[in-house]
């Protein structure tokens, strides 16, 4: 080892690779000759620059993770997985999304083939129907501008005169603006649609016939329930003469009342029992099993086979369950009628759908969404397909009954057999106990759980031009966390105001307005409405636009009569070398506070500056706050340079990380997911407004949460009912038909209150 002083005298050397010649491609520098290093220099390098500590591959992060996953029960990563650890820049190389497979399966799931119990009772139900939203007239009205005839000698007409007046002698001006022509076209369109929608008339006929049948059924069941309950609680009434009637005769009367109830609801009972054996039980199954067991118990009780230790004759409870199930089905019919009326009169219809392409959804939501993207988008369509199939789609109550009905039947049968054998009773005891079990798990208010909030939603949505057809709509959109739409939906008419025009060059002010209005109308910009007050019915004079384009973050470019029109920001003018642009100080003086300036150039000359002011519509702001509370992000397609993420966040008081404007390179994805179609399978539809879309998504989320709460309460009522029956069998706590009726009434009132107390939006 050398002394310290000698070490300090060593001059640092430039360490280069041990190559005699190092060349740099296209470096422009001559090659350098590096002399070989001596052994002394190599020793000094080893002392002052120790070799790096290289970790073995078996001890690397990737190797440790692979070893951990190899011994784990969780699914292994693929061979090309990346590290789970956080990178230095704060991004994760691999992020596991909770329930990713479930969401992917949900997104790809087709329309449910299972229908609600009500669908099996329709009289002429056509599930392949198409309800056209609009039928275009054969000869649409066109705008006209007929010049008036030359000034005639007379400007008045004597109607009492018998002399005929020639058309040339009258001074008449006939004008029809594009707006007037469009209104007339829509009027004729509506008349044409009402005349050609024969399937709509058929559906309305089915609805009327079905409503009358279900209403008649409800009336008959109500009468039978009242009489049956009267016979069951007769001993508690002051009419003593009823107690003198033999018990066998009472059982016969209960049996006949059960047959009468069955005669008015044959479809529901047939559907419930058949679906139980097909392993596709629904809400009808619970009521049908309760009715069937009570009928068997009543039949054997006629011959005196019942056991007096158990309370018998639970027929009024079974009829009450059938009655409440029937009343709940009436909401489905009313909802279908409301949606059909709204669909038949809707002309501009946009169907909602979930983006199925995972790559598209992840690309659009990249940067604003940290969860698996459930992204909704809208498509303009001429007709809605599978209108009735979505209306009668199976709901959460049917899915619950699919598992609850067989489980309760098996439990009731096994428990009845076990308790009968343990107590050593006869078949009468078994049948009475089985009927008690079946009635206790009947879930009287289960049809209200979904149908009541869906009816409320349809009733509130239809005046706004929005359609929520059935529970399939809720199942599709209740977990939506992102929405793709055009930025114009956030700025209805009146949100953007034109506050002033500063003209340049020799172009007339009217020409500049017409040129700017023609370009923004053709491009579909949010600025289309700012020229309404200035034009004042002169829309017919707008110029045709050729080859317009959008320069990202700058503005629009188009051609009018071989003249290039530029409409956008200051940067757009600078990019195209437009001269005469005022300074930023002058621009700030012209615009003022909270206002923006848009420049117009015609044929390379600065023509005008338009001072505009963006305002937040209160209705849009309200729904933006709703979207924020529901952790939804908005993916916006925008061609207006003044509409930026920062501006939107300021106007609507939302964070910027909630919003994203689609870059121009992603326009093809947006166009692919939102292009118009002639026919569309859509469980939700509305007009092209942000508020309507949010109303639909908000309703789906509310209906989902209330339905889950209602199902939970019905499941709890089933458990309580089973406990009551077991306690009656073992301890004789006094469960009577009257108490069971009260129990079902209380649970039904609580369920209806829970699903009805929350506002849909």
CATH number at residue 603: 3.40.1110.10
Q: What is the pLDDT of residue 679?
A: 84
Q: What is the pLDDT of residue 32?
A: 44
Q: What is the pLDDT of residue 176?
A: 59
| Alpha-carbon gap, residue 299 to 302, rounded angstroms | 5
Is residue 590 in some structural domain?
yes
Is residue 138 in some structural domain?
no
C-alpha distance across the termini of the chain, in Å: 84
Residue holding tokens 């908000």? 698
DSSP secondary structure letters along 44-111: HHHHHSPPP-PPPGGGSHHHHHHHHHHSSSSPPPPTT----SBPTTS-BS--PPTTHHHHHHHHT---
Nearest to 221 by CA among 122, 330, 299: 330
Q: What is the pLDDT of residue 318?
A: 94
Q: What is the pLDDT of residue 230?
A: 86
Asked whether the beta carbons of 152 and 168 are under 8 A apart, the reply is yes
| Alpha-carbon gap, residue 243 to 373, rounded angstroms | 68
Q: What is the pLDDT of residue 760?
A: 80
Nearest to 431 by CA among 221, 439, 741: 439
Asked whether the beta carbons of 352 and 686 are under 8 A apart, the reply is yes
CB within 8 A of 295, min separation 6: which ones? Answer: 255, 258, 259, 262, 315
Q: Are strands 633-637 and 659-661 parallel, antiparallel or unpaired?
A: parallel
Chain centroid offset of residue 625 CA:
17
How many domains does the chain divide into? 1
CB within 8 A of 37, min separation 6: which ones? Answer: 13, 18
Question: H-type helices in 604-689, by residue range?
Answer: 618-629, 645-652, 667-674
Residue 447 has which token pair?
Answer: 């049809």
- Three-state secondary structure call for residue 499: strand
Residue 255 has which token pair?
Answer: 């049996």
- Three-state secondary structure call for residue 620: helix
| Alpha-carbon gap, residue 437 to 67, rounded angstroms | 54
Nearest to 339 by CA among 398, 386, 282: 386
Other Cβ atoms less than 10 A from the Cβ of 317: the count is 30
Residue 340 has which token pair?
Answer: 């059909």
Tell me the torsion sign for CA atoms 466, 680, 701, 335: positive
| Alpha-carbon gap, residue 135 to 190, rounded angstroms | 8
Asked whether the beta carbons of 502 and 611 are under 8 A apart, the reply is yes
Instruction: List % helix, strand, coil for the chain (3-state, nearest 5).
Output: 55, 15, 35
CB within 8 A of 525, min separation 6: which ones? Answer: 488, 519, 556, 639, 640
What residues make up the domain containing 525?
A: 496-614
Residue holding tokens 């090659």? 31
Asked whether the beta carbons of 730 and 502 are under 8 A apart, the reply is no
Helix axes 690-731, 396-423, angle to 10 degrees: 0
Is residue 586 in some structural domain?
yes
| Alpha-carbon gap, residue 43 to 34, rounded angstroms | 18
Asked whether the beta carbons of 446 and 666 are under 8 A apart, the reply is no
Q: What is the pLDDT of residue 742?
A: 93
For residues 183-198, b (16+ Cβ closer than 10 Å) or e, as one string?
ebbbebbbeebeeebe
Q: What is the pLDDT of residue 340?
A: 86
Question: H-type helices in 630-689, by residue range?
Answer: 645-652, 667-674
Q: What is the pLDDT of residue 355?
A: 92
| Alpha-carbon gap, residue 348 to 343, rounded angstroms | 10
Residues in the chain, how many? Answer: 761
Strands (E), 467-591: 467-468, 482-486, 496-503, 546-551, 555-560, 563-568
Is residue 535 in some structural domain?
yes
Residue 209 has which token pair?
Answer: 């016939």
Is residue 51 in some structural domain?
no
Task: Tell me how far CA of residue 498 lies from CA of 529, 530, 645, 737, in angstroms.
Answer: 9, 5, 21, 74
Sheet hosting strand 546-551, strand order edge to edge:
496-503, 605-614, 596-602, 563-568, 555-560, 546-551
Q: What is the pLDDT of residue 585?
A: 86
| Alpha-carbon gap, residue 584 to 385, rounded angstroms | 55
- Residue segments in the chain with a per-residue pLDDT below the cut of 70: 1-114, 120-199, 235-244, 305-312, 345-348, 536-540
Phi, psi of 263 (to 5 degrees): -65, -25
- Three-state secondary structure call for residue 677: strand
Is residue 532 in some structural domain?
yes
Q: What is the pLDDT of residue 59?
A: 60
Asked whether the beta carbons of 321 and 445 are under 8 A apart, the reply is no
Is residue 507 in some structural domain?
yes
HEC states along 237-292?
A: CCCHHHHHCCHHHHHHHHHHHHHHHHHHCHHHHHHHHHHHHCCCCCHHHHHHHHHH
Is residue 114 in some structural domain?
no
Phi, psi of 677 (to 5 degrees): -135, 155
Task: Tell me how far CA of residue 700 lies from CA of 65, 368, 705, in angstroms.
Answer: 41, 23, 9
Phi, psi of 6 (to 5 degrees): -70, -30
């Amino acid at each position: 080892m050398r002394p310290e002083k000698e070490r300090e005298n060593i001059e640092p050397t430039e360490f280069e690779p041990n190559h005699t010649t190092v060349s740099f491609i296209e470096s422009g520098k001559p090659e350098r000759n590096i002399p070989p290093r001596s052994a002394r220099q190599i020793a000094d390098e080893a002392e002052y620059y120790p070799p790096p500590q290289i970790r073995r591959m078996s001890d690397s992060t990737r190797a440790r993770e692979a070893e951990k996953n190899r011994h784990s029960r969780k699914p292994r990563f693929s061979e090309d997985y990346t590290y789970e650890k956080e990178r230095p820049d704060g991004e994760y190389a691999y992020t596991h999304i909770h329930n990713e497979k479930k969401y992917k399966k949900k997104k790809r799931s087709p329309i449910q083939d299972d229908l609600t119990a009500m669908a099996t009772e329709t009289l002429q139900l056509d599930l392949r129907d198409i309800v056209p939203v609009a039928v275009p007239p054969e000869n649409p009205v066109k705008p006209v501008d007929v010049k008036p005839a030359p000034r005639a000698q007379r400007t008045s007409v004597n109607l009492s005169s018998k002399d005929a007046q020639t058309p040339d002698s009258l001074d008449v001006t006939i004008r029809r603006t594009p707006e007037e022509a469009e209104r007339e076209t829509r009027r004729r369109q509506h008349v044409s649609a009402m005349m050609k929608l024969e399937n709509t008339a058929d559906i309305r006929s089915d609805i009327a016939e079905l409503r009358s049948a279900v209403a008649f059924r409800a009336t008959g069941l109500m009468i039978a329930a009242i009489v049956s309950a009267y016979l069951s609680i007769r001993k508690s009434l002051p009419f003593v003469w009823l107690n003198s009637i033999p018990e066998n005769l009472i059982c016969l009367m209960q049996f006949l009342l059960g047959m009468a109830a069955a005669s008015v609801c044959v479809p529901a009972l047939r559907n419930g029992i058949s679906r139980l054996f097909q392993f596709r039980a629904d809400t009808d199954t619970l009521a049908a099993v309760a009715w069937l067991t009570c009928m068997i118990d009543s039949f054997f009780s006629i011959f005196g086979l019942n056991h007096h230790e158990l309370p018998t004759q639970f027929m009024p409870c079974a009829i009450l369950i059938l009655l409440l199930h029937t009343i709940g089905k009436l909401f489905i019919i009313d909802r279908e009628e409301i949606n059909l009326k709204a669909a038949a009169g809707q002309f501009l219809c946009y169907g909602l759908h979930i983006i199925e392409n995972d790559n598209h959804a992840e690309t659009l939501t990249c940067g604003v969404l940290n969860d698996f993207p459930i992204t909704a988008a809208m498509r303009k369509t001429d007709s809605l397909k599978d209108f009735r199939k979505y209306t009668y789609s199976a709901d959460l109550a049917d899915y619950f009954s699919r598992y609850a009905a067989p489980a309760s039947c098996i439990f009731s049968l096994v428990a009845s057999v076990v308790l009968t054998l343990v107590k050593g009773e006869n078949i009468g005891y078994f049948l009475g106990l089985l009927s008690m079990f079946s009635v206790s798990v009947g879930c009287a208010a289960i049809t209200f759980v979904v149908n009541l909030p869906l009816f409320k939603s349809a009733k509130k949505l239809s005046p706004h031009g929005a359609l929520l057809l059935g529970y399939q709509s809720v199942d599709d959109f209740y977990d939506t966390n992102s929405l793709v739409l055009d930025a114009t939906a956030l700025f209805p008419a009146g949100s953007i105001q034109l506050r002033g025009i500063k003209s340049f060059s020799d172009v007339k002010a009217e020409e500049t307005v017409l040129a700017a209005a023609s370009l923004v109308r053709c491009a579909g910009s949010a600025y289309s409405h700012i020229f309404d007050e200035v034009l004042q019915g002169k829309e017919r004079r707008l110029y045709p636009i050729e080859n317009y384009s959008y320069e990202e973050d700058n503005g629009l470019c188009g051609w009018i009569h071989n003249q290039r029109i530029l409409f956008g920001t200051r940067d757009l003018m600078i990019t195209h070398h437009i001269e005469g642009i005022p300074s930023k100080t002058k621009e700030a003086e012209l615009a003022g506070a909270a206002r923006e300036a848009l420049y117009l150039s015609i044929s390379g000359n600065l023509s005008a500056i338009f001072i505009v002011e963006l305002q937040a519509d209160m209705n849009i702001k309200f729904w933006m706050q709703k979207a924020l509370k529901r952790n939804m992000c908005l993916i916006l397609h925008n061609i207006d340079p003044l509409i930026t993420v920062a501006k939107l966040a300021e106007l609507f008081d939302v964070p910027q990380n909630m919003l994203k404007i689609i870059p121009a390179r992603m326009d093809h994805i947006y166009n692919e997911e939102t292009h118009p179609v002639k026919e569309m399978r859509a469980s939700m539809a509305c007009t092209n407004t942000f508020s309507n879309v949010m109303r639909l998504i908000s309703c789906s989320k509310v209906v989902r949460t209330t339905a889950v709460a209602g199902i939970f309460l019905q499941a709890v009522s089933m458990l309580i009912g089973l406990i009551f029956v077991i306690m009656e069998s073992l301890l004789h706590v006094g469960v009577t038909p009257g108490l069971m009726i009260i129990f079902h009434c209380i649970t039904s009132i609580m369920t209806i209150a829970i699903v009805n107390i929350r506002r849909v939006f």
